[in-house]
Amino acid sequence: MSVAPLLRKIFLVDLIKGLSVTFRSQHPDELITEQYPLERPWIAERYRGQPRMAVNPDTGESLCNGCGACALACPEKLITVTSDRDPVTKKKYMTSYTYDVSRCMFCGLCQESCPTDCIELSQDYEMALYSREGMTLDRVRLEKGPEPTEYAR
Amino acid sequence: MRPFLDYLHSSVTPGEYGSYLWAVIYILIIFAVASVAVMLMTWLERKILAHMQVRLGPMRVGPHGLLQPIADALKLLTKEDILPDEADKVVFWFAPVWVMMIAFLNYVVLPFGRTHAVTDMNIGILFVLGVSSLSVLGVIMAGWSSNSHYPLMGALRSSAQMVSYEVAMGLAIVSAVLMTSLNSTGTGTLSMIGIVEAQKAAGRWYIFSMFPLGLIAFLIFAIAMIAETNRAPFDLPEAESELVAGFHTEYSGFRWSLFFLAEYAAMIGISSVAVTLWLGGYLRPFPNLLSGHSWDLAFSLFPGLIFAGMALMCLIGAARMPKIPQMKVQTIGLWLFGGVIALIAVVLFLPGVRERVQDIFWFAAKVAAFMYLYIWYRGTFPRYRFDQLMKLGWKVLLPVSLAVLILTALVGIRQDLSTVLMGVLR
């Protein structure tokens, strides 16, 4: 054995190197843990999460004109739109709208097919439920949009 | 009643004073403080280990998870206490009690200060060695009585490891004891307080005396004590990845927590032995370089200043807590905690208390450094393989410790040796 490796061994150079690495990594800046419910991760703009329906901010009316394009576009047939025709203006309007998110694969085809930019997939991801019951979202729920849970310590 | 209170004005240990009542009080205080220290140690270990692994560690129970040990203790105490069907009931029951008893028996002779020890046994260090080698018996009892593969394997490993590292450890201790005899009278001492007083008389800690012999003996002891307490990187008896939990695999709930308490108590105990033998025990740092009345005063103010600093940190933290209803209880708790620490700081500044308590502070500070080292090693080093462990024990530590012992003896008697040689030559 040559001298240098022997001296390294005797003076525990490698062990001290390892110790210095672990010592330095204690610095608070190195922490990568995310305290999830307290601090939320950054979500990309194009992330496709829980669907929502836009309303006209001035009047509070739904932007949906009841055309049913989203129901046609949905590959899983999750969207049901019923519509009626206004007897006075002869315009079609949406009467009910349900969206079953339990089998949704968040492809975003409904969003792309919508002529009025009404249905869209928002950035909310907290959709877990204990049963399938609440997974069919109705119009009220969709218009209210995602409600991120507020956690208290 | 009078002799009972008179003890407070004496400057000897309860054992020397001959007061059983004070000895019992000291034992109770030491037991309580050691248990609290173990709880704190579990929190520190989880926290420091987490930070070394770039994690946060416990954060939810109390500020920065400070109350986590209490939650853990409650969980362990309310857990089901399983007794395996095929186990040897009596031995299974007795093993954790034994391990715990042995771990706390060491504390009888540990000197936390000149007057702060249960008793000053004149064979103190021998007592420590004897007692600490008994703890392997408890481990074997636990492993054998569980009547299961993993505990048995763990117990076998543990016995081999503890027995082989005991030798090197004993030789290192002997070389430290030998240093106490290198004075004008030529008589050494085995008493723990005596060893510290010898370091005081020599004006230096034994880690620095006869450089580098004291340092090497200390390093051998520092390695052997990790193996002795079954801690990483020598935690083969409880290797999680191989043996589930080693000798205490079949234990749960309260019995398991006894093993846990015993392990940490043994860690603190053996670190105290290392501190006593090589790091000057309860003596303040720099006994010879910075001596004199003003330096004594400066060092005696140190504990109070540390506590005052901690109180200040707590109070600033409490003032900076977010003012939201959910944080109210925690904020009040932090104010109270800071207040208590500030009170302790004020008490520590009183001249009478200062003189008597500062040696406990220095002792605790040195032991705390050792506790940090334990955690640091665990966060850094991978576990040794069993043959590597045995090789290190028998082929490296044992010869080196023997050599150190012989060299210490030779250097110690160099005066007499040279006169004898001169006589022969003449």
B91-129: burial string, b at 16+ Cβ within 10 Å, e else: bbebbbebbbbbbbbbbbbbbbbbbbbbbbbeebbbbbb
CATH of domain A51-144: 3.30.70.3270
Q: Is A29 on the interface with B (CB under 8 A)?
A: no
Q: Is the peptide bond before A5 cis (omega within 30 degrees of 0)?
A: no
B382 interfaces chain A, CB cutoff of 8 Å: no
Residue B2 pLDDT class (50, 70, 90 cuts) = low
Q: Report helix, strand or coil for B164.
A: helix
pLDDT for the residue numbered A148 = 67
Cβ contacts (< 8 Å) between B55 and chain A: which residues?
31-33
Sequence ranges of the domains in chain A:
1-32, 51-144
Distance, CA of B106 to CA of A38 (rounded, Å):
46
Closest residue in chain B to residue A29, using alpha carbons only: B54
* pTM of the complete model: 0.80
- Contact A152/B326, CB-based, under 8 Å? yes
Give the full edge-to-edge strand order of the sheet including A92-100. A79-85, A92-100, A136-137
Closest CA to B119 of B39, B186, B22: B22
- Tell me the per-residue pLDDT of B386-419, one tens digit each, with 9 for 90 and over: 888 888 888 888 999 999 889 888 887 777 788 8
Q: What is the pLDDT of residues B277-317, one digit of tens each?
A: 888 888 878 777 767 777 777 777 888 888 888 888 888 88
What values do phi and psi take at B151, rounded to 5? Answer: -60, -40
Question: From A28, which residue of chain B is nearest by alpha-carbon distance?
Answer: B51
pLDDT tens for residues B142-201? 888 888 888 888 888 888 888 888 888 889 888 888 888 877 676 778 888 888 888 888
For chain B positions 55-94, those within 8 Å of chain A (CB to CB) are: 55-56, 59-60
Chain B CB contacts of A31 under 8 Å are: 51, 54-56
- Summary mean pLDDT of chain A: 84
- Inter-chain residue contact A25 with B327, CB threshold 8 Å: no
Each residue of B246-269: pLDDT tens digit? Answer: 778 888 888 888 888 888 888 898
- B165 vs B236: CA distance, rounded Å: 13
Tokens of B76: 């362990």
Q: Which residue in A23, A32, A152 is closest to B376 by CB distance?
A: A23
Task: State the nearest Cα–Cα gap between B37 and chain A, in angstroms.
Answer: 22
Average pLDDT over residues B349-358: 78
Tell me if B48 and A18 make a contact (CB, 8 A cut-off): no
Closest residue, chain A, to B397 (C-alpha): A10
pLDDT category at B19 given cuts 50, 70, 90 is confident
Cα B335 to Cα B71, B321, B339, B341, B348, distances in angstroms: 21, 10, 6, 10, 20
Q: How many whole angstroms separate alpha carbon B207 and alpha carbon B212?
A: 8
Tell me the chain A residues in contact with residue B59 when contact means C-beta distances shorter than 8 Å: 35
User: Which pLDDT band, with edges at 50, 70 and 90, does B239 fall under?
Assistant: low
The model's confidence at residue A152, banded by pLDDT at 50, 70 and 90, is low
Does residue A12 surpass a pLDDT of 70? yes
Residue A153 reports pLDDT greater than 60: no
Burial class (CB in 10 A: 0-12, 13-18, 19+), A106: middle
Higher per-residue pLDDT: B379 or B209: B379
Give residue-wise pLDDT tens across range B52-92: 888 888 877 767 777 888 888 888 888 888 888 888 888 88
**Residue B184 structure tokens:** 């004008």
